[in-house]
Each structure stands twice: as C-alpha cells, then as structure tokens.
Amino acid sequence: MLAHGRPGPAVPVAPACPATGGPADTYMREHGDMTTRRPADCWLTDMDGVLIHEGSPVPGAQDFIARLRDSGKRYLVLTNNSMQTPRDLQARLDRMGIAVPEEAIFTSALATAQFLDDQRPGGSAYVIGEAGMTTALYEVGYVLSDHDPDYVVLGETRTYSFEAITKAIRLVSDGARFIATNPDPTGPSNEGALPATGSVAALISKATGVEPYFVGKPNPMMMRSALNTVQAHSESTIMIGDRMDTDVLCGMEAGLETVLVLSGITRKDEIDRFPYRPSRVVDSIADLVADV
Ligand SMILES: [Mg+2]
C-alpha cells in the first residue's frame, strides 16, 4: 500500500460517484471496488498465455503493445522465465512481430538479482541456471562461486546435472541460503509439460530439509520490484495475466487492478473456485487494446 499524501504523478483522481452514465460509470457500477482508483497510467502484462501462446502471438498482442508504445504510458512485460535474458526474450517476441524494447521486459531472474542486491550487496552465489540468471547476478555485482557462497540460487534450466544438484545440496546443508527464481512445478512446451524450477527446488528441499525463498510470481515482491523499476504506483497500475493462482493473486496482493485473460491457463469455469477475484475478465488481450 502506498502512503497517503505521498506525491504521485499528475493524474486526475477519478470522481468517487460519477453520474454521467458513460462507459466508465457502467464499469464502476459493476466493479464497486474500483471507485477510488486512479486512471491507469501503467500496465504490467504477463507474457506466456497473454501475449504469446504455444510459440505463436496471441491475436491482438501486436496491437496492444503498439498502442502502449504510442501512448507513452509506462509498461512492463513480466515473466517467471529466468532462463533467458531480456535481450533474448526481446528477440523471441520480435520474431513474432511483437516489438517490446529490452528495457520493458522484467524477468524473475532480474527480480531475484534485485532482491539479493538489496539484501546483501556484493555477495556471492552458486547458481544452477542459465544466462538469464547468471547475467542478472553479474550485473548487480555478484560473484559466482562454489566456495562457501552466501546463496544457492536456483533458476530455470534445461540442462540439470546430477553434479550441480549435488553441489547445491551440500552448500545448502553447509549453510548457504536457498533462493529460487520461481515456484512453477512445470513449464509449457509444444510437446507437453516440462519439469521446472519448483520441481528441482523440491528435490533440493527433500535432500536438505531447507525450503527456498521464491522471488517470482505469485510472490507480490515481483510486482513491487516491477513497479519500482518503472517508478509506477500500485493504485494506477493494471496487471494482466492468464493465471488466477499466480498473476491475479500477486497483482491483487500488491494492490493492483487485475485483468484475467482467458487465452492461457485458467478457464472461465475455474475462476469462481478461487477465494479472490480479478477486477475484470476478458477473452484475450485483443479486448484491452481500446483501453490503453
Ligand atoms: Mg502466463
């Protein structure tokens, strides 16, 4: 929550009880909790299931990003993918015709590196992960070491080795703090589910009795790190995602307006089973182009 009285961007505050009968009025009647929100001047959007799905762009994604870019509003594409650097992801999106600058991509690896830099600047880590994670740690001034490191950092990788996991287990048992980029047990691929960071973390936890601290979604710290990165305020930011249990949960906990798109994981008939609700539900990102 933001402290009241803190200076914010020069955005007009929405009237508490609009009686104009316009679309915003209808929207506010349907969403009573929205009446005190400021108009959105920042958008955060998940990537897989929102902008792209199974290797293809979701129709409307190009238009949505182009509209954001032209509007001059702040935005970030958020992903729990800690395997690739923002530059790699930029290239991947670009190949699908979605033009997002590198600076507008925020991964769980960046959030993890920011967290470690805040907690223990200039520290050391033993990393199981790929370029997305190691580059982010180098950039905050961390030393990668397997000799008495401050942390064992587990990120996403497709090249797990028995030796690396054994090393991680011994270091955690000897006192290294255990951090993981994201709790996802599986990840998507065109051929079916792949074991992801959460599953490997469980293996290390079983062997050591130590649970990791997960930085990525649904930890609302991922949202707060993203907001800090673009210097945005929670009360005027919208989070778009395709999963109730990660995107909507952490958006809600960080105080953001949340939009669930039905182009990814969560199905419409599953929404009511959760003890929390998104602010809005739409079929896909195409339905949000006009809202930017
Ligand atoms: Mg997703």
How far apart are alpha carbons 179 and 116 in whole angstroms? 9
pLDDT at residue 54, rounded to an integer: 82
The annotation status of 206 as a binding-site residue, yes or no, is no
3-class SS string, 129-198: CCHHHHHHHHHCCCEECCCCCCEEEECCCCCCCHHHHHHHHHHHHCCCEEEECCCCCEECCCCCCEECHH
Taking the centre of ligand 1 as the mean of its atom positions, its distance from the CA of residue 216, in whole angstroms, is: 12
Task: List the alpha helices (DSSP H) in 44-142.
Answer: 61-71, 86-95, 108-119, 131-139
pLDDT at residue 3, rounded to an integer: 39
2, pLDDT greater than 60 = no
Fold of 109-214: Rossmann fold (3.40.50)
The annotation status of 269 as a binding-site residue, yes or no, is no
List the single range of 157-171, 187-201, 210-224 with lowest mean pLDDT.
187-201
Residues 272, 278 contacting (CB under 8 angstroms): no
Taking the centre of ligand 1 as the mean of its atom positions, its distance from the CA of residue 137, in whole angstroms, is: 24
Taking the centre of ligand 1 as the mean of its atom positions, its distance from the CA of residue 89, in whole angstroms, is: 14
Domains 3-80+217-291 and 109-214 in one fold: yes
Residue ranges per domain, the chain?
3-80+217-291, 109-214
The annotation status of 217 as a binding-site residue, yes or no, is yes
Taking the centre of ligand 1 as the mean of its atom positions, its distance from the CA of residue 244, in whole angstroms, is: 10
Q: What tokens appear for 280 in the block?
A: 């809005």
Active-site residue set: 46, 48
Fold of 3-80+217-291: Rossmann fold (3.40.50)
- Return phi, psi of residue 117, to 5°: -65, -40
Residue from 55, 54, 65, 44 nearest 96 by CA: 55
Instruction: Tell me which amino acid residue 64 is.
Output: F
List the single range of 39-48, 113-122, 125-134, 187-196 with lowest mean pLDDT.
187-196
The annotation status of 245 as a binding-site residue, yes or no, is no
Q: What tokens appear for 178 in the block?
A: 């255990």
Kindly list the protein residues that place their beta carbon closer than 5 angstroms to ligand 1, a single-atom ion: 46, 48-49, 242
Residues 123, 142 contacting (CB under 8 angstroms): yes
Q: What is the pLDDT of residues 3-17, one digit of tens each?
A: 343 344 444 444 433
Taking the centre of ligand 1 as the mean of its atom positions, its distance from the CA of residue 80, in whole angstroms, is: 8
Residue from 219, 185, 232 nearest 112 by CA: 219
Q: What is the pLDDT of residues 29-79, one digit of tens each?
A: 444 444 456 789 999 999 999 999 988 999 999 999 999 999 999 999 999
